[in-house]
Structure 1
């Protein structure tokens, strides 16, 4: 989205008889600003990102982009001008390695360590380094029983090879690996979306520590909204999240630079 986003007294629910998931939200995002949306599970973060697309219609309040009420736009015109990048895990046809390490920045040992951490493969086995997709007969036989035994094993589109339990563990392993890809995400945001107005649901504070503003949500309501520096200074909800993140020093260094 390129433009000014203004949300006023927004109330949204998933059904007419269900309680609101967003309750009287009001905030403004200026053109080309980046806003990080943070909060606990169930705070309403994902619901908020759906509302500009009108996937969820407003019960009350308004959403305007460059002064135009989105409820007055045809859905085709609206959706052609907005982009949403889903946080959900997407699996595609290819190798196990490719699905776990999209950017190709990790070694075989590092990827297998992620599998071992979530118990998709035993932690005591030694695996040969795979530089090609060719497997010897013993490794290929093992892969029939556990696809994660080989990083070169094939994955069908949508992950149809996996049981529900394996899918959940794959998601967990991806999150282990993703912690080290925040720098790549930040680089992409800075280079490819520098002129765009961004709302980013952040599961790691490091992803949004350099953003223009942080929007802290709780129970569908606005808890705090402001610059990272201002919110740290208030020692409120965002400050408490920083303190309990496990990366307090690194986050403060990013937010304040060398001024602390």
Structure 2
């Protein structure tokens, strides 16, 4: 696996990896980049024997994609599959994350509110952010959905009992609940409202040597990390006990 890497080291330059700041996936700490994505990519590169790399953050998604399109960056962290983007990005086979949108409810209601189909929520007060797409099935479900201006209002309004269920980014909300000490006050309904695979992708315009071989090695290492517990260890580092539940929901079904 690593013969390619060893033969390319003399030719290689600094590998430029870019992303948008979003905890717990990736953000700039006091002195270095931190987050689930950062730790996964660092482990992959260490396994490959690549030490000359840098993580950079940009302000907007349009800037992120512009840099990838013209080869200013080599790798972009955590993008969903998109046919238009695939024209200028090389996607690996392996998704390193499956990101969910789930309904959050108050912990006291976790046994009373179930979600298998939208009709299960017909008598539930549901809040949603007006400018979020979620899924077309959600908006067309016929449920009595009350909208708010900002996504960050949903959990406070849930805990204030103004709503009974709200769709949220599961990973971000778990992390926020741990950081702000309300984890014991919320529960999440399964199955997810929406789930999508996310990938670390290579710029087609990048002149970093051996991109095809890099991606082949990347896929193999991600599979190994999934099987040998390294991915689980990273998830638990940021999500505590919820890291195991999240890993299990992604990779054990």
Structure with larger Rg = 1
TM over 0.5: no
Output the TM-score relative to the length of structure 1. Answer: 0.28
